[in-house]
Amino acid sequence: MKHYLIFLNIHHLLGLGLSLNIFTATTEKNTDLVAKQQRINNSVDTFSNFSDVMNEFDILENWSRLCNISPTGYNDFNIVCIIKGNSSIKLSEFRNFTNRVSSNVRFDLFVTCEDGLLHFPWPFKADKLNRIYIKNCTIKDYRTEYKNPLLESIPDTIKYLQMDNVTISLRFGELYDSLSRANSPIARSAECGPENAFSIIRSRIKVIFEDMHNFPLYDFSTAMTHYDYYFNTQKRTCLYNNLEVFEISGMEDLENTNVNKIVHTDMAENLKILNFSGNGMFDTIYKLQGWRLRFPVMEYIDFSDNNIKVLPMIRDYGMTVEKTKSVGIIDIRRNKITSLTKGMIDSFSTHEFVKVDISENPFLCDCGIIEVLEYLSSKTMPKAYDYLGSLVCANPLNVRGRQLLSLSLTELNCNKETVINFPIIVMSIIAIALFVITLLTLYFRNLIKVILFTRLNINFACKIKNDINEKKDYDAFIAYSEKDVDWILRTALPKLESEDAGKACRLCLHHRDFIIGNTIADNIFKCVENSYHTILLISSEFLKSEWCMMEFRAALWKSLHDKGRYLIIVLKDNVTLDNIDPDLKSCLNSHTYLKIGDVLFWDKLKYAISFRHNTKQSN
Ligand SMILES: *[C@@H]1O[C@H](CO)[C@@H](O)[C@H](O)[C@H]1NC(C)=O
Ligand SMILES: *[C@@H]1O[C@H](CO)[C@@H](O)[C@H](O)[C@H]1NC(C)=O
Ligand SMILES: *[C@@H]1O[C@H](CO)[C@@H](O)[C@H](O)[C@H]1NC(C)=O
Ligand SMILES: *[C@@H]1O[C@H](CO)[C@@H](O)[C@H](O)[C@H]1NC(C)=O
Ligand SMILES: *[C@@H]1O[C@H](CO)[C@@H](O)[C@H](O)[C@H]1NC(C)=O
Ligand SMILES: *[C@@H]1O[C@H](CO)[C@@H](O)[C@H](O)[C@H]1NC(C)=O
Ligand SMILES: *[C@@H]1O[C@H](CO)[C@@H](O)[C@H](O)[C@H]1NC(C)=O
Ligand SMILES: *[C@@H]1O[C@H](CO)[C@@H](O)[C@H](O)[C@H]1NC(C)=O
């Protein structure tokens, strides 16, 4: 434990400069060598011969050239590699070495790159490897051992794993081969990574495809039909009995994935730091309901530098019962929270064992904040919440940079009267409704069918699943651009997923239902496979985004190859059909599409989602 805490401190102190400091640490240790040898001479331990280990290392073709090995303790060695220019190293060569040296040795491996390449298959298993730290590198062959049966025969020795600013360079073939299928699931260690680790840190990782351009849609789909293409999500519970630090940070793509695995599925009872900093997340925090029950010794949940706009209710499950447990800090600094209310502050400031830090958010200090000011000055807050009074306003301009408790009432512009004339609004709504109903009856007779279908709950299929052999987790997978996420979250979700009309659909959303650690493509395929329908939300943003095109391709492929499933195209923002991608255009020509502006849009969409039922019956 002590050893571990020291590591943590060093890690935080060194930050980005870690690579430099490794070297100073190493040379210091070299001067200690004589003392260490003396201890070894005196020790009765059977120790591996230093020179044996060094000699074995010298035999290696590339590792010996690019890396320095030095002893750091009785049985411990540091290996520091700098991979420059066009050079590369293979994990397999290192494994050959670690297999040969005596069993009581441990290696700590630090690799930094200056353009160099690593051929390192995840999860970087090698016998006797205690720590691995990879910085600034491009990794190839990352998924090549996902299904290799030999993987499980290598001992799971990694205690500390850290990757920082790493690019994973995949080939399409490699990705497809590594997808989990019913008859060839991926290995446990590929799914879980190092299960004995104390710390797993993955920061600023991105995935690129080397051969994206060599893989036209047609080849892709043909290749895939050769497989028994059935996704089998393992949904294993990974057991991280030692794990104290879990970090996934600085990932631009993570907005599309989620943290279900570590937050809901895996076991990590000793987890103390859960770090999702800098990932552009905006709703993940809602998934942490009940976090105390799963993580009883949690000390720090880091959501700083994300896009959280609305603060959820933060609870303190069970902590009053067992007071020996730690205070958990929930760090929501530098997000996008603008509004501050009395209820919000009340929801967390009463908990003794949780401290929520919302400082450095762009707060709006207008008239609405008066009740907060009154509340803060009237109530004695727990000490941990002293900081609330000095929260800094971002808007409006006249109070920018000011602290909350320094504001005076006159500065808050509370004079404007916003009287809403209720009767007029209600009347207008009724008038509009009547108008719409009249229009419908007169001009949209066919569509009344749709309305009857949805409104009277006749044969609505979202809930009717039992008579279909194939059971799926979702009614529909929605493919959309990140930029449309607000619309999805605020408009589409309440319409489709709410139980209001007793016909809730279950939707697979990439920002919510993706499994962390899987690639985006992997997640999309699983989502499409586990959904009866694929809905494409085509907006101008969607068309612009490269990533979305890939998502689209996968969805398109899947829907074309499985007649029982339906591709539903939804057009947003008056998208012009003139200059769009040919693939997409041909798709629009052969599928009916819905426009969001359509009066009956939601009915049509639900009708379309229900269509699956009819198709299956006629099969
Ligand atoms: C350790 O022992 C070896 C011989 O067993 C000897 O040559 C060497 O000088 C000793 N080293 C120290 C630091 O005592
Ligand atoms: C250490 O290795 C050298 C060279 O392989 C060998 O001659 C020597 O006997 C070894 N010593 C021990 C204590 O194993
Ligand atoms: C060593 O590097 C060279 C050049 O990068 C490569 O061709 C060779 O296969 C490598 N050997 C091993 C064992 O990794
Ligand atoms: C690496 O690049 C250097 C020049 O930058 C060249 O001389 C050498 O042959 C290259 N090595 C390999 C294996 O391509
Ligand atoms: C590792 O050893 C195996 C067999 O012992 C050999 O086939 C393979 O080429 C070696 N790999 C490297 C990178 O040296
Ligand atoms: C990262 O790699 C780039 C080249 O790809 C190099 O210029 C840069 O110095 C490296 N940064 C660090 C911190 O090693
Ligand atoms: C991250 O790595 C890339 C190369 O892989 C390099 O170009 C870039 O400078 C690195 N960024 C930092 C902050 O080290
Ligand atoms: C979380 O990760 C970020 C980025 O690596 C780091 O700056 C921050 O200190 C970490 N937070 C904790 C609590 O470790």
14, 23, 136: which to mutate for ligand 6, most atoms within 8 A of CB?
Answer: 136
What span, in angstroms and rounded, lies between the C-alpha atoms of 190 and 517?
10
Between the CA of 233 and the centroid of ligand 6 the distance, in Å, is 37
Q: Single out the residue of 500, 518, 505 nearest to residue 478, CA to CA.
A: 505
pLDDT digits (tens, 9 = 90+) for 464-508: 444 455 677 788 888 887 778 778 877 887 778 776 545 677 888
Nearest residue by C-alpha to atom 1 in ligand 4: 86
What span, in angstroms and rounded, lies between the C-alpha atoms of 480 and 560?
19
- pLDDT reported for residue 550: 65
β-pairing, 67-71 with 76-84? antiparallel
DSSP 306: S
Nearest residue by C-alpha to atom 9 in ligand 7: 136
- pLDDT reported for residue 226: 45
β-pairing, 328-331 with 354-357? parallel
34, 40, 41: which to mutate for ligand 1, most atoms within 8 A of CB?
Answer: 41
Between the CA of 275 and the centroid of ligand 8 the distance, in Å, is 6
Q: How confident is the model at residue 239 (pLDDT cuts 50, 70, 90)?
A: very high
At residue 357, the 3 state secondary structure works out as: strand
- pLDDT reported for residue 463: 39
What span, in angstroms and rounded, lies between the C-alpha atoms of 61 and 59?
6
What span, in angstroms and rounded, lies between the C-alpha atoms of 481 and 357?
31
What span, in angstroms and rounded, lies between the C-alpha atoms of 340 and 357?
13
Complete domains list, the chain, with CATH: 1-236 (no CATH), 249-412 (3.80.10.10), 421-461 (no CATH), 465-609 (3.40.50.10140)
Burial 290-309 (b: 16+ CB within 10 A, else e): ebbebbbebebbbbbbbebb
Residue whose entry in the numeric block shows the structure tokens 């220019």: 85
Nearest residue by C-alpha to atom 3 in ligand 8: 277
- pLDDT reported for residue 564: 53
pLDDT digits (tens, 9 = 90+) for 202-234: 999 988 878 766 665 545 555 454 443 434 455
pLDDT digits (tens, 9 = 90+) for 338-395: 988 888 888 788 777 788 899 999 999 888 888 888 888 887 888 888 889 899 999 8
What span, in angstroms and rounded, lies between the C-alpha atoms of 553 and 548?
8
Cis check: omega of the bond before 123, within 30 degrees of 0: yes
Q: Single out the residue of 115, 160, 120 nearest to residue 136, CA to CA.
A: 115
Which percentage of the chain shows pLDDT scores above 90? 26
| Sheet arrangement for strand 566-571 | 507-509, 474-479, 531-538, 566-571, 593-595
Q: Single out the residue of 570, 522, 464 nearest to residue 232, CA to CA.
A: 522
CA distance to 78, 456, 595, 601, per residue, from 435 (Å)? 78, 21, 21, 17
64, 91, 96: which to mutate for ligand 5, most atoms within 8 A of CB?
Answer: 96
At residue 391, the 3 state secondary structure works out as: coil
- pLDDT reported for residue 45: 43
List of E strands, 85-213: 88-90, 106-114, 117-119, 129-135, 138-140, 160-170, 199-209
Nearest residue by C-alpha to atom 2 in ligand 1: 41
Q: How confident is the model at residue 420 (pLDDT cuts 50, 70, 90)?
A: low
At residue 321, the 3 state secondary structure works out as: coil
What span, in angstroms and rounded, lies between the C-alpha atoms of 513 and 619?
30
Residue 193 phi, psi dihedral angles, 5° rounding = 75, -160
β-pairing, 138-140 with 129-135? unpaired
DSSP 392: B
Among the atoms of ligand 7, which is closest to the Cα of residue 166?
A: 5
pLDDT digits (tens, 9 = 90+) for 33-59: 655 555 555 543 444 578 888 888 998
Q: Is the CB of 64 under 6 A from ligand 3?
A: no
H or E element, residue 377? helix 370-378
Between the CA of 368 and the centroid of ligand 6 the distance, in Å, is 48
0.85 surpassed by pTM: no
Out of 40-49, 63-72, 366-375, 523-532, least confident range: 40-49
Please tell me the chain's helix, strand, coil percentages from 3-state DSSP, rounded to the nearest 5.
Answer: 45, 20, 40
pLDDT, mean of residues 110-130: 95
At residue 601, the 3 state secondary structure works out as: helix
Assigned token pair, 403: 């602290």
User: What is the 3 state secondary structure string of 523-588?
Assistant: HHHHHHHCEEEEEEEECHHHHHCHHHHHHHHHHHHHHHHCCCCEEEEEECCCCCCCCCCHHHHHHH
